[in-house]
Amino acid sequence: MKNILLFSFILGVIFPSEINAQRKKSKDKNQEVIATPQKKKSPSYSDFVTKNTTSDKGLFTVHENKEAFLYEIPKSYFGKEMLLVTRIKELPSGLGGGYVNAGSKTNTQVVVWEHYKNKMLLKVKSYNAIANDSLPIYKSVKANNLEPIIYAFDIKTQNNDSTAVLIDVTSFFSSDVKAISALPASYRSRYKVRRLDPSRSFINSIKSYPENIEVIQNFTYEADEPPSNAAAGTITMSINQSMILLPEKPMMPRIYDKRVGYFSIENIDYSSEALKSDEKRYIRRWRLEPKDEAAYNRGELVEPKKQIVYYLDPATPEKLRKYIKQGVDDWQKVFETAGFKNAIVAKMPPTAEEDPEFSMEDIRYSSIRYVASTTRNAVGPSVSDPRSGEIIESDIIWYHNHLRSYRNRYLLETGAANPSARTLDTPDEEIGEMMRMVIAHEVGHALGLPHNMAASFAYPVDSLRSASFTQKMGIAATIMDYARYNYVAQPEDKNVRYIRQMGPYDHYAINWGYRKIPNVTTPEEEVKTLDKWISDKAGNPIYRFGGQSFDPSAQTEGIGNDQIKASTYGIKNLKIVAKNLPKWTSDKTNNYEDLSELFDELLGVWSRYAGHVAGNIGGVYEFNKKPVETGVVYEYVSKAKQQESLQWLLKNVFETQNWLLDKNILANINESGYTTNMLNLQTRQLNGLLNESRLKRMLDASVIQTDFYPVEDLFKDLRNGIFSEANYTSNVDLFRRNLQKAFIEKMGDLMNDKNLQNTDIPSIVRGELDTMKIQLSIAKSRFINKISKYHYADCLEKINKILDPK
């Protein structure tokens, strides 16, 4: 019996289909039914979107099933260009060294959703290289600029009417995807980040709006050296991902012109008929279009179709809100010059009752964030469409401690002439006015305007001492200069303006960038009108744009058109402030903290004034022009001006500045370091005078200009000035001994600088050192004190080692 059963089992294994077929006979004995394998059922929409699913309709419908998130992407959006912006929403203290904050964006990229077989690809689209898609070369541009794939998503199913596909984005937004990370490689290296901890990382929320989707991620990274809370060994941050649909029809761009300052976008256009690709550059600006174009063209003031609105951070202290609002609203008058009224405004955000969906992270809204940070700064970044330069959104950042910087500078730079600045408790209205102007400056950046450091050079120095002039014109031609305070005004000058304000250049630049030009359809058609607007102002320094580091007329923090005169006035005021600093600080507070802080900053102010004068030496003015305009673009500072500047530096920097050595201050703020601090300040100017780029410019000057300051004369004048005691029977004080050694050391550096070996510099240095040997050998034999003799002997030994290292 067992053998029979075993035989039957073996037959069943070997011939299963035959046995099954025999068992499935129909009632009709003449018909045999054979069973076929069942196909796996395709998942349907209802498998993913159930009665328990939370759905949020908007750009895409977002579905949430417990911890899973799905995008329902309409097929009509396949290939549509969208802007993906990664921002930090919340962060640990100290991340990035203090200049990264809540609201900082870390990446902006154009993306498209592309259907490929059974997947949806999220691809980055670049506008660095472009071509007209009707031209054959377009194929080459595409082939040589392959768009990277950020992520590939499996298509789960389609919706019921097959107009959209469903993908699961949970893994994408809960993983450490480098393309959308808020923690760049430099931070990962600095903080020794090992990995993202998935157990402590998750999607906080995904919300869909009519034009955008906002994702908030909470991520925790394992890190060996985090910026704060070191014992935890982690970096936890909240990240906001904004994806917004770009306009179907890009704004018509405006061609960039370096004669008017604007931030810009660039691309290389291979559609050109020229013998090379065209580099195209367009300005960055908001899309302002008049509601009533006919009235606008008649010259009437017209409101824009869409107003520029900035929402104030609810965290902003109440007493400061009005000043921030004023800083934004000040641009309304400027936009009227371009034909728009009520073009820009600041508002408090809606309450939760008024708009429960409102979020400062929503990319549809621009904001002014108030950041609780010890950093002293403010910034005005923006997000723009790389196809046209249209600014989509911006978030101005104000750091809490920034006003302390302005209070300190106000006291130091204006206290000699301005009684209300001689206090640590600056009047609220004056602090408010400073804040208002800082916000106006940052709004200018957010409108597309970069710094224009040439604007402060437009005004004569003595005009800055005039009440009527400064009250009307301010202290620089634009708010976009770093001309914060009027440090030129003297104690006898009355009713002058001390704080910067909007200027005529602001009206000029906004009109040039924003005024709508009628009857044009291409950017090229605008150029003739734009050129005329510039030529109408040509030659007037008020409307000049500049900011090169080699140009002494475009220096940071300077004011007035004569650096020597302005810095002389500035130092004269600083001497008064230094003498009174204890009375205005420690005598009032009964501690030395503010005195120490302010004296340290006073040294920095003095150094800046010196740097403005030093900029003349080897300086080159830049006057941006087109060939049809008269004059050259680059013009060297005259020999006389350079020589005068050096003599000023020898007196006001390289001679020992005894007024900065007040024992009533030094003996109460530090136990030591006075000589080192002074040497550092002096060598900063010395090294700046003798840096490679400046010396090379001076060598080049002899090629194109007869009125130039020879490099060999610079070295000779410096040697005679810094070693002036060697020409007389004079002892050398401690500070001068240090400076003279530093000068010799710098000469040695220049002698061995590889970048200068094939220039005249090593030859000039060698000649100067030979001369110095003779000069110091004679000086050492004179009737001077012992330390001066030791010093000269040491200097000679240092020179010999430079000239003969062996």
Calculate the dihedral angle through the C-alpha atoms of 173, 177, 183, 186, rounding to the nearest 10 degrees.
Answer: 180
Distance CA 806, CA 510 (A): 63
Q: Is residue 797 part of a domain?
A: no
Distance CA 225, CA 516 (A): 53
Distance CA 181, CA 245 (A): 21
pLDDT at 737: 97
pLDDT at 474: 96
Residue with tokens 């060294």: 97
Distance CA 396, CA 402 (A): 14
* Whether the Cβ atoms of residue 416 and residue 573 lie closer than 8 Å to each other: yes
Q: Is residue 395 part of a domain?
A: no
Q: Of 307, 538, 547, 543, which Cα lies nearest the Cα of 450? A: 547
Task: Read off the pLDDT of residues 737-784 as tens digits, 9 standing for 90 and up.
Answer: 999 999 999 999 999 999 999 999 999 999 999 999 999 999 999 989
Q: Is residue 263 part of a domain?
A: no
What residue type is 566 in one-letter code? A
pLDDT at 375: 66
Tell me how many domains the chain contains.
1
Helices (H), 480-556: 504-514, 523-535
Q: Is residue 690 part of a domain?
A: no
Burial track 515-552 (b if 16+ CB lie within 10 A, e otherwise): bbeeeeeebeebeeebeebbeebeeebbbbbbbbeebb
Rounded to two decimals, the pTM is: 0.88
Residue 612, token pair as written in the block: 């403005």
pLDDT at 35: 56
Q: Is residue 750 part of a domain?
A: no
pLDDT at 147: 82
Q: Is residue 100 part of a domain?
A: yes
**10-residue block means of pLDDT along the chain (806 residues)?**
43 43 44 56 89 94 93 96 91 79 83 94 77 54 68 94 95 93 91 93 93 94 90 92 94 96 81 63 95 96 96 89 95 98 94 84 86 69 89 85 87 97 94 93 95 96 97 97 96 96 97 97 96 95 93 95 98 98 95 95 97 97 93 95 98 97 93 93 96 95 92 97 94 96 97 94 96 95 93 96 90
Distance CA 670, CA 70 (A): 62
Going by their DSSP bridges, the two strands 264-269 and 129-130 should be labelled as: parallel
Domain that holds residue 74: 53-245
Distances (CA, A) of 386 to 282, 435, 514, 711, 780: 9, 32, 18, 46, 68
Going by their DSSP bridges, the two strands 68-74 and 164-168 should be labelled as: antiparallel
CA angle (529 as vertex; 524, 530 as ends), nearest 5: 80
Q: Of 199, 160, 207, which Cα lies nearest the Cα of 58? A: 207
Distance CA 69, CA 175 (A): 13
Tell me, letter by letter, the H, E, C secondary structure of 441-461: HHHHHHCCCCCCCCHHHHCCH
86: Cβ–Cβ under 8 A, 6 or more apart, which residues?
105, 106, 107, 108, 180, 181, 182, 239, 240, 241, 242
Query: Is 138 in a helix, a strand, or coil?
Result: helix
Distance CA 84, CA 209 (A): 14
Q: Is residue 220 part of a domain?
A: yes
Q: Is residue 72 part of a domain?
A: yes
Query: Is 488 in a helix, a strand, or coil?
Result: coil
Residue 663, token pair as written in the block: 């024992």
Distances (CA, A) of 772 to 240, 500, 653, 748, 797: 64, 48, 21, 13, 12
Element (H, E) at 9: helix 2-14
Distance CA 110, CA 83 (A): 5
